[in-house]
Each structure stands twice: as structure tokens, then as C-alpha cells.
């Protein structure tokens, strides 16, 4: 049994490592085009992001929303649902928190912070419910609906930020800054905020949901065979709504936390480019839709983000290189380089007595 688990972990690990290798290889070409040494650039990237205290805490800070969006995409993909609206759900969560965090800024922190986090979660859920209901009730393609909703949401929020909730004292388009009692402030003199621990806590909850709950089992069943799950009496429609609720809640919380720990006001590039929701897709894929994998992948991607700033400072490579490597990674991750865990099984078989091997089955 244990051997089997080790097998899958090794298998996931290699399946993530090979695409990373290819993505960095092609990324290296792009760096050569910029006239820099790729190895040196990658060294700076990871050395600064992981082996300096400043860099590492920043990496963990960046990883916080990514853990949540990664889980948001992971839970829906695992069930075979393409919630491509995580980006939009995160934006709505962030925006609502920006508005409420300014309006109620005289509330004490102990009341305001939980209230805002819940508001973010609820906004994420409500946004996710539109494609979820259409899918559950009428089988409308959730991929296209949730995707196009992102564009609609971006335009609506842009309008609201520019015209209704704009802070006129700023030279660029932005809402008012949230009150100081709404801010999740830095801890231990580093870049880490309570948001990182919130994200870790949510990760633990989701770990239990994925691996030790009935819902987790049902999600896997639906993802593997929807008709079968329905035939054996699972209420698939209800499950679609539940899964999308989780997904939207995670995305909304990600937006709320990012607003309260990093941005403090809604601007038109609140989520960056590509947004945190899209980053979540990479992370879910890299982590093979499993919570632990997603956690590791989020920290890895946090390191890329944190290191990209070092690249911009110490080399002439534009920090946009990170997005190039990210999309290459997704491209290569769409292939399963190792089919099943057969290769490893064969490898490990040699080191295992035959009987033990049979017992596993």
C-alpha cells in the first residue's frame, strides 16, 4: 500500500518535472533573444526567491492567493468541470472588499476583517453560481459561459472603478484605499501577512475535503465518469452546484485576501497579467489537482513571481519572461509524459519481493 503511494508521488513528481524542464529550455531561448545568459538568469531567479530571507518570505506571500486559486481550479477540474471563471470570481471578491473596506473603515479590525473575508467569499460564490446554475439546470457549456463572464466582469468593474467608486485624489484609475483596520498587516518584519496562514488553514480544510470526505470521493467519481455517477444515484446536479460553490468561495477568498494583504485598493491591474486566476490553472495542473501538489506548485510559482523582480533588477531580461515560461509550462503539462505509473512500477518492482507486490493489489 505504502509503496503504491510512493509510486504515485514519484510519478506525479516526474510528470511535473519533465514539463518544467522543457518550459525552461524554451524560456532559455527567449532569454538568449534578449541577449542574456539563461543559466545566470535562472540562477538569479531562484537564488533570490528561495535562498534569501526577503525573497523567501515574499515568495510565500505571493503563494498565498495562488494556493487558493489553485485549489479553486483543482476542485472543479477534478470533477471534470471547467470553471474558467476563477479569474472573474477573484476580481469580484477583491472589488467588493475594496468598496466595503473603505465604506466601513471605522469598524474595529476584529469585526471588519472577518466581515470582509466573508464578503469576498460570498461574492465569489455568487459569481460562480451563474455558470453553475446554467450548467446544472440546462447543461449549458460552463467553459464558454464562465470564460466570457470574465470579459463582462472586467468591463463592469472597470466602469465602476472609473465612474462610481473612483478615488479622485489619485492620478490613475483606482478605488479609495481600504481603511487601516481592514489591512492584514505584515508580520515579523517580513512580507508575510496573516493571509498566508489563512491560505494554509484553507489548504488543510481542502486537504480533508479532497481525501477524507464523501464529497471528495464524489468529486473523483463525477470526474471519472459522470453518467455512471448519475446512474448509481448520485445527484450530479446538486454536486455541480456544491463544487462550483467551493470553487467560487476559494476564488473570492483569494481576491479578498490579496486586496487586504497586498493591493489595498482596486486598480485595473489588480490581479496582474496573466491574472491570479490564470496562475491558478497552471498551479492546479502542475499539482495534478491534488491539494499537496497544489501547495507545492503555488510556492514554486510564488518563487517565479518573486524572482521575476530580481531578474528585472539584475539583468536586462524583461520580467514578462515569467509569463512566457508559465504558458509554456501549461502547454507541456497538457501532455502526460508518463502514462500511468507503469514505468515506475516496473522500476520499483525490481527492488520489491514478489509477494509483497501481490499483496498491494
Partner 1 sequence: MDILRVLYDMLYYAGPILFCTLGGLFAYKVNVINIGLEGMMLFGGFIGALLIFYTGNYLLGLSGAVMLGVALGLLFSFFGITKKANFIITGFAINLLAVAIGYYTLALMGRTDINVIGEVRHMSLRLNIPVLRSIPVLGDVFSGHSILTYVAFLSIFIVHFVMYHTKFGVYVRVAGESPEAAEAVGINIHKIKYAAIIVGGFLCALAGVNVAVEQIAAYTPQITAGTGFIAIAAIYCAAGSPMKSSGYAILFGLMQALARNLAVVIGGIAGLLNVIPYLTVIVVLSIIAINRYRKTNIRGYAHD
3-state secondary structure of 189: coil
Residue 322 cell numbers, joined: 515569467
Selected from 10, 126, 129, 134, the binder of partner 1 by CB under 8 A is 134
Specify the stretch interacting with partner 1 by CB under 8 A; choose among 26-34, 58-66, 104-112, 251-259: 26-34
Told to check if 79 binds partner 1 by CB under 8 A, we report: no
Told to check if 274 binds partner 1 by CB under 8 A, we report: yes
CB of 308 to partner 1, least distance (A): 12
Check if the beta carbon of residue 198 is closer than 8 Å to that of residue 185: no
Closer by beta carbon to partner 1, 193 or else 290? 290
Distance CA 238, CA 214 (A): 14
Q: With b meaning 16 or more CB within 10 Å and e meaning fewer, what string describes 37-75?
A: ebeebbebbbebbbeeeebbbbbbbbbbbbbbbbbbbbb
Among residues 252, 257, 250, the alpha carbon closest in space to that of 182 is found at 257
Distance CA 93, CA 124 (A): 5
Task: List the beta bridge partners of residue 166.
Answer: 175
Closer by beta carbon to partner 1, 2 or else 339? 339
Check if the beta carbon of residue 287 is closer than 8 Å to that of residue 70: yes
Told to check if 334 binds partner 1 by CB under 8 A, we report: yes
Specify the stretch interacting with partner 1 by CB under 8 A; choose among 4-12, 221-229, 302-310, 323-331: 323-331
Told to check if 151 binds partner 1 by CB under 8 A, we report: yes
Specify the stretch interacting with partner 1 by CB under 8 A; choose among 103-111, 198-206, 303-311, 325-333: 325-333
Told to check if 335 binds partner 1 by CB under 8 A, we report: yes
CB of 341 to partner 1, least distance (A): 17
Closer by beta carbon to partner 1, 138 or else 351? 138
CB of 19 to partner 1, least distance (A): 10
Residue 102 cell numbers, joined: 473603505
Distance CA 25, CA 18 (A): 11
Closer by beta carbon to partner 1, 152 or else 205? 152
Closer by beta carbon to partner 1, 14 or else 134? 134
3-state secondary structure of 27: helix
Specify the stretch interacting with partner 1 by CB under 8 A; choose among 62-70, 102-110, 320-328, 344-352: 320-328
Please report which residue ranges of 233-350 form alpha helices under DSSP H. Answer: 236-258, 276-286, 291-314, 321-333, 342-349
Selected from 323, 338, 348, 357, the binder of partner 1 by CB under 8 A is 323
Tell me which residues in 162-191 interact with partner 1 (CB under 8 A).
Answer: 162-163
In sequence order, what are the residues at sequence separation of 6 or more whose Cβ sits closer than 8 angstroms to the Cβ of residue 353?
A: none
Site string for partner 1, 193-232 (x = CB under 8 A): ----------------------------------------
- Residue pointed to by grid coordinates 518573486: 306
3-state secondary structure of 79: coil
Told to check if 251 binds partner 1 by CB under 8 A, we report: no
Task: List the beta bridge partners of residue 267.
Answer: 174
Angle, helix 38-50 to helix 2-33, in steps of 10 degrees: 130
Closer by beta carbon to partner 1, 126 or else 330? 330
Specify the stretch interacting with partner 1 by CB under 8 A; choose among 158-166, 177-185, 255-263, 288-296: 158-166
Distance CA 198, CA 230 (A): 35
Residues that bind partner 1 (CB under 8 A): 30, 33-34, 82, 134, 138-141, 143-145, 147-149, 151-152, 155-156, 158-159, 162-163, 273-274, 278, 281, 285, 318-321, 323-324, 326-328, 330-331, 333-336
Amino acid at each position: 500500500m505504502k509503496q503504491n503511494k510512493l509510486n504515485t508521488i514519484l510519478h506525479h513528481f516526474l510528470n511535473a518535472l519533465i514539463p518544467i524542464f522543457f518550459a525552461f529550455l524554451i524560456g532559455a531561448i527567449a532569454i538568449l533573444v534578449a541577449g542574456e545568459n539563461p543559466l545566470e538568469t535562472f540562477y538569479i531567479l531562484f537564488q533570490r526567491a528561495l535562498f534569501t530571507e526577503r525573497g523567501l518570505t515574499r515568495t510565500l506571500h505571493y503563494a498565498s492567493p495562488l494556493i487558493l486559486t489553485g485549489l479553486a481550479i483543482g476542485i472543479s477540474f477534478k470533477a471534470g468541470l471547467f470553471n474558467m471563471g476563477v479569474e472573474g470570481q477573484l476580481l469580484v471578491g477583491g472589488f467588493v472588499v475594496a468598496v466595503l473596506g473603505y465604506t466601513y473603515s471605522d469598524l474595529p479590525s476584529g469585526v471588519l476583517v472577518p466581515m470582509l473575508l466573508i464578503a469576498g467569499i460570498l461574492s465569489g460564490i455568487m459569481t460562480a453560481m451563474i455558470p453553475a446554475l446554467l450548467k446544472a439546470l440546462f447543461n449549458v457549456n460552463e467553459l464558454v459561459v464562465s470564460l466570457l463572464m470574465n470579459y463582462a466582469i472586467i468591463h463592469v468593474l472597470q466602469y465602476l472603478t472609473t465612474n462610481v467608486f473612483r478615488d479622485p485624489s489619485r492620478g490613475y484609475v483606482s478605488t479609495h484605499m481600504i481603511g487601516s483596520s481592514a489591512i492584514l498587516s505584515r508580520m515579523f518584519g517580513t512580507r508575510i501577512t496573516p493571509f498566508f496562514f489563512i491560505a494554509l488553514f484553507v489548504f488543510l480544510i481542502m486537504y480533508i475535503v479532497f481525501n477524507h470526505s464523501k464529497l471528495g470521493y464524489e468529486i473523483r467519481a463525477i470526474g471519472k465518469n459522470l453518467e455512471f455517477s448519475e446512474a448509481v444515484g448520485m445527484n450530479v446536479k446538486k454536486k455541480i452546484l456544491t463544487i462550483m460553490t467551493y470553487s467560487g468561495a476559494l476564488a473570492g477568498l483569494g481576491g479578498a485576501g490579496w486586496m487586504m494583504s497586498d493591493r489595498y485598493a482596486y486598480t485595473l491591474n489588480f490581479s496582474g497579467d496573466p491574472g491570479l486566476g490564470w496562475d491558478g490553472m497552471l498551479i492546479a495542473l502542475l499539482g495534478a489537482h491534488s491539494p499537496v501538489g497544489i501547495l507545492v506548485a503555488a510556492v514554486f510559482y510564488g518563487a517565479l513571481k518573486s524572482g521575476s523582480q530580481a531578474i528585472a533588477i539584475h539583468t536586462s531580461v524583461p520580467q514578462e519572461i515569467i509569463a512566457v515560461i508559465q504558458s509554456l509550462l501549461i502547454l507541456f503539462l497538457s501532455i502526460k509524459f508518463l502514462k500511468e505509473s507503469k514505468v515506475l512500477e516496473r522500476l520499483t518492482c525490481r527492488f520489491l519481493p514478489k509477494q509483497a507486490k501481490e499483496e498491494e493489489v
